[in-house]
Amino acid sequence: MNIPPQEGLFVDHHGRLHRPPSEEPPRQRRGIHVALLHEDHLLLVQPPEADWLEMPGGGLEEGESPAEALSRELSEEAGVRLPASVLRPSAELRLTSRYYSSNNQAYWLYDQIFYLIRLADPPPVGTPLEAGHVRLWTPLEKLSGVTLHHVHRLGLEGLLEQTCASRRS
């Protein structure tokens, strides 16, 4: 799935469009994010000084598998301690976006993987390793009122569509 903003434009976390100041090519980035569900609550994080929420995740480091990166990111951003071995998705979506990161003032061609994982038991939690992140378990019925990162909302909608379609078939 691709997010096709107008030619040459990039989308930010609020869904606003940006034009790069030069012809410099965007940076390539690979990442993974998770819709982690427990008892009809979705785990979201609020980054430091952000006015939006997002699903935990981030960039894949050299040599890391998606599950290893996700395990690391969950610990860093949400304080959730889950080993890579248990991070098996019930749905997966790949999405490519032309993304403008206002935090870094960087333009990225961002290849992202979104996982949907349902937990039967509450996960072990501690303090997020990255200072300033806030962990929130948000009831699914309240998501429409949440300011969710634009690309993450598209990823979540795609995952939920897959899940609903597989239940119908």
pLDDT for 73-82, tens place per residue?
999 999 999 9
Q: Is residue 152 part of a domain?
A: yes
3-class SS of residue 69: helix
- The residue type found at 123 is P
What is the pLDDT averaged over residues 103-130?
92
Flag whether pLDDT at 6 surpasses 70: no
Q: Is residue 4 part of a domain?
A: no
Q: Is residue 5 part of a domain?
A: no
Comparing 154 with 1, the larger pLDDT belongs to 154
Contact in structure between 167 and 113 (CB atoms under 8 Å): no
CA separation for the pair 50, 39 (Å, rounded): 26
Flag whether pLDDT at 149 surpasses 60: yes
Q: What percent of the chain has pLDDT over 70?
A: 93
Q: Is residue 16 part of a domain?
A: yes
Q: Structural domain tally of the chain? A: 1
Closest C-alpha to 42, from 165, 136, 125: 136
**Per residue in 38-76, is it b (16+ CB within 10 Å) or e — as a string?**
eeebbbbbbbeebebbbbbbbebeeebebbbbbbbbbbb
Q: Is residue 1 part of a domain?
A: no
Q: Is residue 33 part of a domain?
A: yes
Flag whether pLDDT at 98 surpasses 60: yes
Q: Is residue 107 part of a domain?
A: yes
Residue 22 is predicted with a pLDDT of 79
Say what the pTM is: 0.88
pLDDT band of 23, cuts 50, 70, 90: confident
Residue 31's CATH number: 3.90.79.10
Query: Would you give the distance in Å from CA 29 to the centre of its chain?
Result: 13
CA separation for the pair 82, 164 (Å, rounded): 26
- Establish how many alpha carbons lie within 13 A of residue 110's alpha carbon, considering only the half-sphere containing its beta carbon: 25
Q: Is residue 20 part of a domain?
A: yes
What is the pLDDT averaged over residues 97-105?
86
49: domain range?
10-168
DSSP string over 80-134: B---GGG---SEEEEEEEEEEETTTTEEEEEEEEEEEEEESSPPPB---SSTT-E
CA separation for the pair 13, 153 (Å, rounded): 10
